[in-house]
C-alpha cells in the first residue's frame, strides 16, 4: 500500500476535507490543496501579516488512484501554463496575450477530470507573475522554464475526485505562529523573485517568445 503524508495550511482546523468545497479559481480548479512539505504548509497557513494558522496533517492512500504528474518529463511548462489559464483569472489585454491564451488552451490543455490526484508546481504570486509576463511576450519560454525551478516554492498535491476524498484520513493539526511564519513566507517569495530577476537579466534577447510560437518560428523546439 502506498500512503502519502500530506499537510494543508489553513486559518482553521480541517478534520474532514469535503469534495466540492473550495474556490474554483485555484491553480488546478476545485480541489483540496496539500503539500508533502510540512514547513511549506506552515508558511501557507499564515496568509496575512500577524495572523496565526494551523497545519493539518493527513494520510492519503494512493493505491488505485489516477495521478497526473505535471512535473514529469511527459509534460512541458506550457501544459502547466494551460492548466493555470483554464482556471485562474488572467486578464489578457494585448493581441499576443489573447491569441496566446487561445493557442495554449487549444493545444496544451489536459483532461483533469480523468484524474483523482494532481501533482505540480504551485503558482504562488511570483510564479503567476512569470506566467503573465510570458503571455505579454516580455520573457522567453526558456526564462519561464527556469523560473519554475527558482525559489523552492514547492510542489502541491491536489485531491480532485470523490474517490480521492474517500482515501484521505485526518491525523491531527498544529497551531502555527503568524509572527514566525508569515515573514518566512514573504522571504521565500522575495528570494524567488530576486533569483528570477538575476536569471532574466542574464538571458538577453535570445530565446523563444510567445510571439515566435504563434508565428510558427519555434516549430523545431523540443516540446512544442
Pairing of strands 117-121, 67-69: parallel
pTM of the model: 0.87
Give per-residue pLDDT as tens, 158-200.
999 999 999 999 999 999 999 999 999 888 888 877 876 776 6
Phi and psi of 150, rounded to 5°?
A: -95, 150
| Grid cell for residue 139 | 520573457
Q: Would you state the pLDDT for residue 171?
A: 98
| Grid cell for residue 22 | 473550495
Give per-residue pLDDT as tens, 76-130.
889 999 999 998 877 778 888 999 999 999 999 999 999 999 999 887 766 777 8
**Helix 125-135 vs helix 77-87: angle between axes, to the nearest 10 degrees?**
100
Give per-residue pLDDT as tens, 95-106.
889 999 999 999
Q: Are 121 and 80 in contact, with CB atoms under 8 Å apart?
A: yes
In sign, the C-alpha dihedral spanning 80, 120, 61, 22 is: negative
Amino acid at each position: 500500500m502506498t500512503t502519502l503524508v500530506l499537510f494543508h495550511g489553513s486559518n482553521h482546523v480541517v478534520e474532514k476535507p469535503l469534495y466540492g468545497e473550495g474556490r474554483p479559481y485555484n491553480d488546478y480548479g476545485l480541489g483540496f490543496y496539500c503539500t508533502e512539505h510540512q514547513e511549506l504548509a506552515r508558511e501557507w497557513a499564515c496568509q496575512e501579516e500577524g495572523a496565526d494558522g494551523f497545519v493539518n496533517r493527513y494520510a492519503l492512500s494512493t493505491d488505485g488512484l489516477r495521478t497526473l504528474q505535471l512535473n514529469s518529463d511527459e509534460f512541458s511548462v506550457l501544459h502547466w501554463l494551460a492548466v493555470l489559464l483554464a482556471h485562474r483569472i488572467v486578464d489578457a489585454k494585448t493581441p499576443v496575450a489573447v491569441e496566446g491564451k487561445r493557442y495554449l488552451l487549444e493545444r496544451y490543455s489536459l483532461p483533469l477530470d480523468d484524474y483523482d490526484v494532481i501533482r505540480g508546481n504551485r503558482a504562488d504570486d511570483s510564479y503567476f507573475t512569470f506566467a503573465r509576463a510570458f503571455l505579454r511576450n516580455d520573457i522567453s519560454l526558456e526564462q519561464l522554464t527556469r523560473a519554475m525551478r527558482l525559489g523552492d516554492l514547492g510542489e502541491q498535491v491536489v485531491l480532485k475526485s470523490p474517490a480521492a476524498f474517500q482515501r484521505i484520513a485526518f491525523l491531527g493539526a498544529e497551531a502555527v505562529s503568524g509572527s514566525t511564519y508569515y515573514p518566512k513566507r514573504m522571504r521565500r517569495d522575495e528570494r524567488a523573485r530576486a533569483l528570477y530577476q538575476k536569471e532574466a537579466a542574464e538571458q538577453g534577447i535570445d530565446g523563444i517568445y510567445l510571439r515566435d510560437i504563434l508565428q510558427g518560428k519555434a516549430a523545431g523546439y523540443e516540446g512544442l
